[in-house]
Amino acid sequence: MAKLTASRKGLVIIYTGEGKGKTTAAIGLAVRAAGYKRRVAIVQFVKTWFTGEKAGFEGLADYVEFTQAGKGFYQILGDKLPPEEHRRAAAAAFELAKQKVESNQYGVVILDEIIGTVVGGLLPLETLLALIDRKPEDVDLVLTGRHADTLPGLIDRADLVTEMVKVKHPYDMGVIARKSIDY
How confident is the model over 107-158, as pLDDT tens digits? Answer: 999 999 999 999 999 999 999 999 999 999 999 999 999 999 999 999 999 9
Q: Distance (Å, rounded) from C-alpha 171 to C-alpha 174?
A: 5
Q: What is the pLDDT of residue 134?
A: 97
Total domains in the chain come to 1
CA distance 146 to 9: 26
Does residue 113 fall inside a structural domain?
yes
In a domain, 27, yes or no: yes
* Residue 3 within any structural domain of the chain: no
Name the pLDDT band for 38 (thresholds 50, 70, 90). very high
Q: Is the pLDDT at 11 greater than 80, yes or no?
A: yes
Whether 95 is covered by a domain: the verdict is yes
Q: Taking each helix axis from N to C terminus, what angle separates 83-102 and 125-134, rounded to the nearest 10 degrees? A: 10
Range scoring the smallest mean pLDDT among 15-19, 78-82, 98-102, 174-178: 78-82
46-102 confidence digits (pLDDT tens)? 877 778 888 889 889 999 999 999 877 766 667 677 888 889 999 999 999 999 999
CATH code at 71?
3.40.50.300
Phi first, then psi: what are they for 51, rounded to 5°?
A: -130, 155
How many CB atoms within 10 Å of residue 117? 25
Structural domain contains residue 36: yes
**Is 163 inside a domain boundary?**
yes
Question: Which H or E run contains 162?
Answer: strand 160-164
- Supply the pLDDT for residue 74: 65
Domain presence at residue 178: no
Strands (E), 4-159: 12-17, 40-44, 64-68, 108-112, 140-144
The pLDDT assigned to 183 comes to 75
pLDDT of residue 103: 98
- Looking at the domain assignment, is residue 30 inside a domain? yes
The side-by-side arrangement of strands in the sheet containing 40-44 is: 64-68, 40-44, 108-112, 140-144, 12-17, 160-164
Q: What is the pTM of this model?
A: 0.91
Domain of 141, in residue numbers: 12-172
β-strand 40-44 against 160-164: which pairing, if any?
A: unpaired
Looking at residue 163, what DSSP letter applies?
Answer: E
